[in-house]
Amino acid sequence: MPDIPNPSDHNQWYPFLDRPTPNEVDGVMQNPAVIPVNDADPLPASAKFVVVGAGIHGMSTAYHLAKKLETTGTGTGSDVVLIDKQGPGAGATGLACGCVRNLYMTGPLHSILRASVEVWEDDPINFGFQQVGYVSIGEANQEEDYVALNQSQIDAGYPSDLYTGADAHRFLKGLWPDFKTANCDVVLHEHRSGYAGTHMAMWGLDQKCRQWGVQRCFGVSVKGYALDASGSVTAVETDQGPISCDQVVVGAGAWTPQHWEWLGGPSNLDVLYPDGHLETGMDMWTYWRLLEGEVYLPEGIDFRTADGKDSPVLHVELMNTPVYGESGDMLQDHVYTYLRYAAERVGAPGIQGGTIPIQLGPRADVEPYGHLSDAYQADDWFEEYYCATLGMLFERFENIRPHFKQRRNGGIGAFTPDNVPIFDHVADNAFVIADSNHGFKMIGVGKLTAEMLVTGDKPWELEPFSFARYAAGTTFGDRNSNCPWV
């Protein structure tokens, strides 16, 4: 290890001190759960509901489903079996930055976010949710988009304020007097957004699953699904035998393409856009790898607002503003950066953030996942670029680069054809939550899914995210951004 500042004394290669040493399957290291899982249940032979994947979506679904069954008297919490090959947070959920925001140019997502923030607000302490708000900044070329999404957020019950021109500068300077407002032409301030400590969220959801009686079967690997002649799932096949079931929910993150294929979903499709344009034979899934990192805040430097509060999550995209490195060379022709206070993550006062992910293609090596993968770490240029963006925006972060935390970072995600989630049945009794890597902020999808499973009616918030949209010409894709996430 190079001689780097490490005030937390953490193991910089594998940063979470008390995580178990990764076990191996067929010689490949497995990303472990991010919380201890000593009291897992044995796999039963059958269950009414099987939820596959103990990430944010599987855990939220299992918890809300068990609670709803108990509180409506329609069943018991133990009707729900939650399966994961490792345990809570062993996928993207355990690595995520945990930013919760509603900055989407896809209008129907605003209601998904409203439903999700209601879940975060339900028990912010046990979910580790910090409702600090979210400030996003664009250049003049994004003003029209910001006006539209501000209105859509308000209509969806998710209040936000919009500032342009001199008002935008005044607002930013009021929050952070050392903020450099050049090219910051439009600002959106979402009040209900914030961030969550990802490991805390896993603790909280796991405790709630236990409280409501979910059978938590960790260390059980799904190997496929037994389908009848009509394509319905009769059993989930695992390395510990089959479990027959009535309904399956899959929240498998980066492993979704494998489960989708097992369930009979297509690997290619024709995609019709609202303007009549047809794209034939598109890949069903495209992997992207994320670029993220952490920076210690040295003595005397904080990420607080002028009135001493924890700062809102900050997101800046200046599509026409280049970023220059220490030698004066241009690193990228645009600014794209986000940051949030992350002491719980960094292990000392610090921030976590990243930039635009990089497209990989229809296939990627999902194992080993996350920080364990040599192939998908943040690139060498990322450290300089990320620190340069921080210094461009804040006087306090000029020359912050020596405090970049040298450790493994990154992770991959499976994106849909329009980079917007699919929340839909792939078989008549198998519902897939394919979040297209938007997921940490969409904790409410599990609650909506649970409502659907208990009442039989699909909540209207989920309707726009059907698989049928690609054939029907209601494919999404309205975005004016360098990034696939908005």
Residues 6+ apart with CB under 8 A from 355: 291, 336, 337, 338, 382, 385, 386, 389
Binding ligand FAD by CB under 6 A: which of 108, 391, 413, 417?
Answer: 413
Binding ligand FAD by CB under 6 A: which of 32, 55, 77, 459?
Answer: 55
Beta 160-164 vs 186-190: how paired, if at all?
antiparallel
| 421 preceded by a cis bond (ω within 30 of 0) | no
Beta carbon of residue 208, minimum distance to ligand FAD (angstroms, whole number): 15
CA separation, residue 419 to residues 255, 371, 425, 444, 449 (Å): 16, 23, 18, 19, 20
Distance separating alpha carbons of residues 84 and 218, to the nearest angstrom: 5
Distance separating alpha carbons of residues 442 and 119, to the nearest angstrom: 9
Rule CB under 6 A: is residue 446 a binding residue for ligand FAD?
Answer: no
Binding ligand FAD by CB under 6 A: which of 19, 57, 334, 469?
Answer: 57
Instruction: Convert residues 110-149 into a mask of x (bound to ligand FAD by CB under 6 A) and - (unbound).
Output: ----------------------------------------
| Burial class, 355, CB count within 10 angstroms (exposed 0-12 / middle 13-18 / buried 19+) | buried
The helix/strand/coil state of 352 is strand
Rule CB under 6 A: is residue 105 a binding residue for ligand FAD?
Answer: no
Binding ligand FAD by CB under 6 A: which of 49, 64, 77, 86?
Answer: 86
> How many residues sit in the footprint of ligand FAD (CB under 6 A)?
37
Rule CB under 6 A: is residue 162 a binding residue for ligand FAD?
Answer: no
Contact between residue 405 and residue 296 where contact means Cβ atoms under 8 Å apart: yes
Binding ligand FAD by CB under 6 A: which of 153, 373, 389, 437?
Answer: 437
Contact between residue 317 and residue 335 where contact means Cβ atoms under 8 Å apart: yes
Instruction: Convert residues 372-411 into a mask of x (bound to ligand FAD by CB under 6 A) and - (unbound).
Output: ---------------------------------------x
| Token pair listed for 118 | 């209601």
Rule CB under 6 A: is residue 265 a binding residue for ligand FAD?
Answer: no
Binding ligand FAD by CB under 6 A: which of 221, 240, 305, 321?
Answer: 221
Rule CB under 6 A: is residue 92 a binding residue for ligand FAD?
Answer: yes
Which residues contact ligand FAD by CB under 6 A? 52-58, 83-86, 90-93, 95-99, 221-222, 251-255, 290, 292, 411, 413, 435, 437-441
